[in-house]
């Protein structure tokens, strides 16, 4: 390789790496928002009495679910987002 070719290849690798870092940062930002949303929703859900009727959105319909099921789903959503953030960092 000539010095010019080596420089061009190195420059392409740098740009590719920068794009990957930007993409990872965007994904981390989105996952952080998802995690925060799930946490805030769970905080509100846990303040409701256990007999409160709650529904889970599934496609275009809603399914009646007990409070515990909704709580566990929100905790799982937070856990998954946290794991994916750690993978990206």
Average pLDDT on 49-66 reads: 95
CATH of 3-88, one of 1.10.10.60, 3.40.50.880, 1.10.287.370, 3.40.50.300: 1.10.287.370
Q: What is the 3-state secondary structure (H, E, C) of the chain?
A: CCHHHHHHHHHHHHHHHHHHHHHHHHHHHHHHHHHHHHHHHHHHHHHCCCCCCEEEEECCEEEEECHHHHHHHHHHHHHHHHHHHHHHC
Average pLDDT on 7-32 reads: 94
Average pLDDT on 19-46 reads: 96
Residue 4, pLDDT score: 86
pLDDT band at 19 (very low <50, low <70, confident <90, very high): very high
pLDDT in tens, 63-85: 999 999 999 999 999 999 999 99
Q: Which helix (H) or strand (E) holds 56?
A: strand 54-58
- Does position 3 have pLDDT exceeding 90, yes or no? no
């Amino acid at each position: 390789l000539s010095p010019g070719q080596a420089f061009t290849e190195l420059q392409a690798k740098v740009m590719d790496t920068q794009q990957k870092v930007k993409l990872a940062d965007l994904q981390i930002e989105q996952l952080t928002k998802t995690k925060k949303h799930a946490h805030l929703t769970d905080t509100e859900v846990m303040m409701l009495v256990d007999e409160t009727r709650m529904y889970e959105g599934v496609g275009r319909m809603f399914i009646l679910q007990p409070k515990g099921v909704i709580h566990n789903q929100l905790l799982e959503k937070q856990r998954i987002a946290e794991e994916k953030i750690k993978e990206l960092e």
